[in-house]
Chain A
């Protein structure tokens, strides 16, 4: 039961008791007023009876007509009073008494009539003294006797009224005490039950809170019932369940994180091992390229050197064809030397440390052009405004040098040559392009442009090792960018590359 309901019931009981006691008191007051009225009436009756008795006696003594009239008036008044009393008195006893009194009054009236009809005593004495005197005396005593009887009845009526009034008072008192007592008892019992329940629930709530605070998250209050504290207990349990659930999920998460960390440690160890292995193979590669650069170049130098000695010292013994063949040998040796150099720088770019700093691309492009020694040629070289890039300036210089030297090489046959360098900023990148009006290329082969040793032209047309653009691609890829080319045979080519915008990651 809700505590509020309990308290409401207590209040209602108290209020009910008060109202009941009030109405009982009101009823008792009415009752006691009526009892008082009855008392008054009874004593009024006694007075009326007494007065009537006085007029009777006066009549008996003096036989005056006035007295008789007064007695009749008193009798009529008494009858009317008795009739009135009949409506006031309620008890059977009282009514019967009043009935008897009315009868007595009627009887006394009869006796009085009879007595009045007798001749005057004084006359009677003169005529028939013995008979009438005796009759009169008998009638008079009878009348007096029943009058006494009447008085007795009135007394009885009075005492009945008094008793009733007292009984009413007693009953009222008793009822009031009983009602007050029982309402007090019920309220007290109710309050004590509520208090006990409250205390018990509070204790269990406190105990539960303490146990959960101490870490026993599985603890529940488990209240049954529909009172407010039971509701509070259930909310408390729900809260504890959620706390427990989130604690468990947190613990799982922590465990998961620990597992992940352990995995990361293992992965890191693997990675370290891999890095060690990579470093080792890097060292091997370096040793390899060292010996390549040293040992492969020496025989080439010998081939070229001795061919030259042959040409210089033994020219007379050689005919024109012999000299041409020796020249072929020498040019091939030199070509191979260049290939080795290019390959070495190509592999070195994959290994060497890379700076990542702001680079003035326009200045680099101009300096690369100047470094190629073509500034004296009749060529229109323009550099548009270029966005700054982030990267390794020496590698970027190589990119420009390779692209510009390519453009120079392939514009060679044209009478009017131009090389245009442009740049633009895009959402996440900066894009640069080198445009020329050289011999161009067929877009069908554009994919082959950036492969190592891939060439679209014969060595007879344009010299080269086929490493230059591969180098460009490798440098740009290492910077996190892209390279591409567009061209049309006979009309020129545009080589472009993008780099991540400043601040962007590669």
Chain B
């Protein structure tokens, strides 16, 4: 994998089990990027904009964000809105990975610029497959915008 593709992957997930399953699925898909897990929207924003606890990340790139919608403090849609409205972060692909099947969440996510909307299946096979495909597509096949 070439250098620009080795940016970090950010998992925004407040449920530790889901976070662990996602991590495991990514590892199984042999994703080599650095993976960070944050538990709420506020932390996610600090990570992405290199603030607070993540001030040291200044200059580091984020290659993909896996975003849950129902989050403590700042919710997923708000994170999405901020990321997609800021020129520094709007090019980062954001995959909404949520348990919600609600139509309005789907519409709101795409409206705010989400790159994908994936409903987390209960069945682990399907879940693992979904995460694997995300890794394949967004990390290997998709050509990111530079900047």
Q: Are A294 and B21 in contact (CB under 8 A)?
A: no
| Option from A290, A302, A307, A338 in Cβ contact (under 8 Å) with B102 | A290
Minimum distance in angstroms from A350 CB to a CB of chain B: 15
Size category of the binding interface on chain A: 20 to 34
B105 nearest in chain A by CB position? A290
Fill in one digit per residue for A280-317: 1 if any B CB lies within 8 Å of its CB, else 0: 00000000001101110111111011111100000000
Contact A301 B124, beta carbon cutoff 8 Å: yes
Please determine whether A337 and B122 come into contact, CB atoms closer than 8 angstroms: yes
Is B15 at the interface (CB under 8 A from chain A)? yes
Which one of B24, B100, B120, B121 contacts A290 once the chains associate, using CB atoms below 8 Å? Answer: B100
Q: Name the residue of chain A whose CB is nearest to the CB of B102.
A: A290
A333 touching B122 in the complex, CB below 8 Å, given contacts A298-B18, A306-B17: yes
The count of A-to-B residue pairs whose CB atoms sit within 8 angstroms is 62
Say yes or no: B123 contacts A337, CB within 8 Å: yes
Kindly state whether residue A344 has any CB partner on chain B within 8 Å: yes
A338 to B70, CA, bound (A): 21
A330 to B126, CA, bound (A): 13
Chain A residue with Cβ nearest B28:
A312
* Cβ contact within 8 Å between A299 and B17: yes
Q: How far is the CA of A308 from the CA of B28 in the complex (A)?
A: 13
Q: Which residue of A293, A301, A330, A337 is within 8 Å of B18 (Cβ)?
A: A301
User: If the complex has contacts A305-B17, A309-B24, A344-B101, are A294 and B70 also in contact, measured as CB distance less than 8 A?
Assistant: yes
> Is A341 among interface residues, defined by CB-CB distance under 8 A?
yes
Instruction: List, in ascending order, chain B residues with CB within 8 A of A302's CB.
Output: 15, 17-18, 21
Interface membership of A334, Cβ < 8 A: yes
User: Which residues of B have CB within 8 Å of A307?
Assistant: 124
Among A295, A298, A333, the most chain B Cβ lie within 10 Å of the Cβ of A298
Residue from the set A290, A294, A295, A337 with the largest chain B CB neighbour count within 10 Å = A294
Q: How far is the CB of A320 from chain B (nearest CB, A)?
A: 21
Contacts of A333 in B (CB 8 A): 122
Within the complex, the shortest CB–CB distance from A374 to chain B, in Å, comes to: 21
- Are A297 and B99 touching (Cβ within 8 A)? yes
User: Which of A294, A297, A305, A307 neighbours the largest number of chain B CB atoms within 10 Å of its CB?
Assistant: A305
B127 within 8 A of A: yes
Q: Determine if B109 is an interface residue (Cβ-Cβ < 8 Å).
A: no
Cα A297 to Cα B98 in complex, Å, equals 10
Of the four ranges (under 10, 10 to 19, 20 to 34, 35 or more), the interface on chain B belongs to: 20 to 34
Q: Tell yes or no: B111 within 8 A of A by CB.
A: no
Alpha-carbon gap, A305 to B17, bound state (A): 9
Residue of A nearest to B13 (CB): A298
Task: State the Cβ distance, B17 to closest chain A Cβ, in Å.
Answer: 4
Residues in A with CB closer than 8 Å to B70 are 291, 294-295
CB neighbours of B124 from chain A (8 A)? 301, 304-305, 307-308, 330
Whether A293 pairs with B101 at a CB distance below 8 angstroms is yes
Interface centre among A301, A336, A337, A341 (most CB of B within 10 A): A301
Chain B residues lying within 8 Å of A308, measured Cβ to Cβ, are: 124-125, 128
Given the complex of chains A and B, what is the CA–CA distance between A330 and B15 in angstroms?
A: 19
B120 interface neighbour in A295, A297, A330, A336, Cβ under 8 Å: A297
| Complex: A338 Cα to B123 Cα, angstroms | 10
A133-167, CB under 8 A of B: which get 1 and which 0?
00000000000000000000000000000000000
Task: Tell whether A301 pairs with B102 under 8 Å between CB atoms, given A294-B70, A306-B17.
Answer: no
Rounded to whole angstroms, the CA-CA distance of A448 and B129 in the bound complex is 39
Instruction: Give the Cβ gap from B68 to chain A, nearest Cβ, in Å.
Output: 9
Q: Complex: how many Å from CA A308 to CA B125?
A: 9
Interface membership of chain A positions 332-376, coded 1 if the CB is closer than 8 angstroms to chain B and 0 otherwise:
011011100100100000000000000000000000000000000
For A296, give the chain B residue with the smallest CB separation.
B99
Question: In the complex, what distance in Å separates the CA atom of A308 from the CA atom of B15?
Answer: 18
Query: Chain A contacts of B128 at CB under 8 A?
Result: 308
Q: What separation, in Å, do the CA atoms of A341 and B123 have in the docked complex? A: 13
> Residues of A contacting B21 with CB < 8 Å?
301-302, 305-306
Residue of B nearest to A335 (CB): B122
Q: B67 to nearest A CB, angstroms?
A: 14
Most buried by A among B69, B99, B127: B99
B122 and A300 form a contact (CB under 8 A): yes
**A297 and B122 contact, Cβ closer than 8 Å, known pairs A290-B100, A305-B127, A344-B101:** yes
How many Å lie between the Cα of A52 and that of B69 in the bound state?
174
In the bound complex, CA of A166 to CA of B121 (Å): 150
User: Is B99 touching A293 in the complex (CB atoms < 8 A)?
Assistant: yes
* A301–B17 CA distance with the chains assembled, in angstroms: 8
Q: Once the chains are docked, how many angstroms separate the CA of A297 from the CA of B101?
A: 11
Shortest Cβ distance from residue A141 to the other chain B in the assembled complex, whole angstroms: 172
Residue among B24, B102, B124, B127 with most chain A CB within 10 A: B124
CB distance from A147 to the nearest CB of B (A): 163
**What's the nearest-Cβ distance from chain B to residue A488, in Å?**
37
Q: Are A293 and B100 in contact (CB under 8 A)?
A: yes
Contact yes or no, A301 B127, CB < 8 A? yes
Within 8 A of A (CB), among B93-147: 98-102, 120-125, 127-128
Minimum distance in angstroms from A30 CB to a CB of chain B: 129
Question: Contacts A295-B99, A302-B18 given; 9 further ones with Cβ under 8 A?
Answer: A293-B99, A293-B100, A294-B98, A297-B120, A301-B120, A304-B122, A305-B124, A306-B21, A333-B122
7 contacts between A and B (CB under 8 A): A290-B100, A293-B101, A297-B122, A298-B99, A302-B18, A305-B124, A334-B122
